[in-house]
Amino acid sequence: MKKWGFLLFLVLCLSFAFVNNESFFQDKVEVQRYEKNNNDQLDNRETSESFQKIEITKEMVFQGNLLLVNNEYPIHQESITSDVVNLFTHKELTKGYGLLDNEIKLSEDIAHKFSAMIAAAEKEGVRHFTINSGFRDFDEQNALYQEMGSDYALPAGHSEHNLGLSLDVGSTQMKMDEAPEGKWLEKNAWKYGFILRYPKDKTEVTGIQYEPWHIRYVGLPHSVIMEEKNFALEEYLEFLKEQKSISTTIYGEKYEISYYPITKDTTIQVPSNLRWEISGNNMDGVIVTVFPRTTHTTLKEARGSE
């Protein structure tokens, strides 16, 4: 009798913990639509004196961390990140992981963010990461396409690897779909601004088979919203176009995100007293993200010591 009573108590405790964890997460990530006012101000709680005007050109549609790149939407020359470096010659960027060869290139900024994520994984005992591929120029992509064919590679200009924001991550132990490194990335990458670009359940959306090794940087808060709503990048960008403007509260910090269709050079207003970023979607518009006064580079920082 005592044994059954103990088992019942244990089940109730586990159930309570699960519900609490679920509700805790939901309380920390909220997404809601809001209406911009007539002046297209991103936060109508502020006065007009708190805003500055920014000119948006058509070229900006093709720049930023949220660009959609696939068979339909190719990369423009201005889309390529300007800080691509050879990681083999920058040892300070490769602490905690290996390189498949000495020609792996990546955006320096993204390399710093990846290193921070790998350091977090190492603290959890997951430490056998490698980068197998990073940035490729159009010539390299074309050579790969000619060698591998359309079933395994995309034409030059249509691969995310031509951006500098994506990388193929491997494990020195086993294939990524079986490795602890692959499982850790799938569970945690979004906390650090990265997404698994081609998930197993989104092949019909992305048009690409499941790739547990291919991650892409989109940044916070976008990676968090995509995780919460189970969006592929295609779905997230369509969601922003439909909603026009959303606000999201993540661990008590409010972010505001607005989509603007751009057909010609135009002017929008952004807060002068808050940090903001503009990214094109590589299709027809730009996304403006306004950050809270206290910002975090990773979700873990926002959560503190949890």
Cis peptide bond N-terminal to 261, omega within 30: no
Task: HSE, CB side, 13 Å, CA atoms: give it for residue 213.
Answer: 18
Sheet strands (E) in 185-252: 194-196, 214-217, 245-250
Longest Cα separation, the chain: 76
Q: Residue 245: helix, strand or coil by DSSP?
A: strand
Cβ neighbours of 57 (radius 10 Å): 12
Amino acid at 48: S
Q: Which of 46, 108, 122, 211 is catalytic?
A: 211
Structure tokens at 121: 């994984």
Length of the chain: 306
Active site residue 211: yes
Amino acid at 225: I
Catalytically active residues are 211
